[in-house]
Amino acid sequence: MNPISSEESKIPVPRHLAVIMDGNGRWAKQRGQLRVFGHKEGTKATKRLVKSCGKLGIEFLTIYVFSSENWQRPSFEVNTLMRLLVEKLKDEIDELDQENVRLRALGDLSRLPTSTRQELEWGMSKTSTNTGLQLMLALSYGGRQEIVDATRSLAEKVSRGLIKPEEINESVFSSHLYLPDVPDPELLIRTGGDMRISNYLLWQIAYTELYVTPTLWPDFDETELLKALESFGHRQRRFGKVL
């Protein structure tokens, strides 16, 4: 991978980039391979993305690793994905730590296999004091469930008299999401060409710019990222107002 040039580095970048990494299965099928082969190849694209975001100065990167709906996939594929996650955490965490990347996660982590959850917790602990790129893994994650969980937490506080219903506003609600200190993403990239959100960060992407590319995730590289960022740089973000 060629380093980002000085001209490319002038492209406006979002503070927070969210990515739906789609197309691993189709990439494998095109090559006559099992879907898990595409997932393994996709981890290389993920590593490229993390490195590029670090070089560009992006502060937050959230990637959709495994959705709450993905538990419905065949057990062989699910088990392979969980094992692959453990392997990559073991292989990559030292390098992430050296590059000052902080690893975090959001989702219903209680559903993860014990070995996967322990490895994830170890990685997050090891990098917890790093001050560079914050890499958020959306694992066993669903946007609707996050909203339900936030609502349940607020309802409990109301029932205990800790907060009044009339005191609940958007800011208070946001403070009960999984990672309340993380700003909303300015740009969401989806690979694979499908034009849908797939239950991803539903509250946070209210005014996020969307960029969909037909490129399948294993083929997503720095050139594709720069195309997305260039498109983002030409957007007018009005937030419902007139500029």
Which active-site residues does the annotation give? 22, 70
Task: Give me the CATH number covering residue 181.
Answer: 3.40.1180.10
Confidence of residue 173 (pLDDT cuts 50, 70, 90): very high
Averaged pLDDT, 105-134: 97
- What is d(CA 111, CA 114) in angstroms, rounded to the nearest whole number? 9
The full DSSP string for 55-67 is HHT--EEEEEEEE
Asked, for residue 8, whether it belongs to a domain, the answer is no
Asked, for residue 5, whether it belongs to a domain, the answer is no
State the pLDDT at residue 47: 96
Count the domains in the chain. 1
- What is d(CA 187, CA 191) in angstroms, rounded to the nearest whole number? 13
Instruction: Tell me which range, 5-9, 182-186, 233-237, is most confidently predicted by mean pLDDT.
Output: 182-186
State the pLDDT at residue 238: 60
CA nearest 147: which of 72, 211, 208, 68?
Answer: 68
Query: Are the beta carbons of 93 and 125 closer than 8 angstroms?
Result: no
Is the pLDDT at 38 greater than 90? The verdict is yes
State the pLDDT at residue 235: 87
Averaged pLDDT, 81-99: 95
What domain range includes position 200? 20-233
Is the pLDDT at 3 greater than 90? The verdict is no
Mean pLDDT of the chain: 94
Is the pLDDT at 5 greater than 90? The verdict is no
Q: What is the DSSP letter of 179?
A: S
Of the candidate ranges 2-16, 58-72, 192-206, 229-243, the one whose mean pLDDT is the lowest: 2-16
CA nearest 127: which of 152, 96, 170?
Answer: 96
Is the pLDDT at 178 greater than 80? The verdict is yes
Asked, for residue 3, whether it belongs to a domain, the answer is no
Asked, for residue 64, whether it belongs to a domain, the answer is yes
Asked, for residue 113, whether it belongs to a domain, the answer is yes
| Token pair listed for 143 | 């946007």
Asked, for residue 58, whether it belongs to a domain, the answer is yes
Beta strand ranges found along the chain (DSSP E): 16-20, 60-67, 102-106, 134-141, 187-190, 209-212
| Token pair listed for 32 | 């006559």
Question: How would you class 116 by CB atoms within 10 Å of its CB: exposed for 0-12, middle for 13-18, buried for 19 or more?
Answer: buried
CA nearest 189: which of 8, 12, 21?
Answer: 21
Helix (H) / strand (E) element for 47: namely helix 35-56
State the pLDDT at residue 98: 97
Q: For residue range 181-218, list pLDDT tens digits in order.
A: 999 999 999 999 999 999 999 999 999 999 999 999 99
Asked, for residue 238, whether it belongs to a domain, the answer is no
Q: Other C-beta atoms within 10 Å of 227: how many?
A: 15
Asked, for residue 208, whether it belongs to a domain, the answer is yes
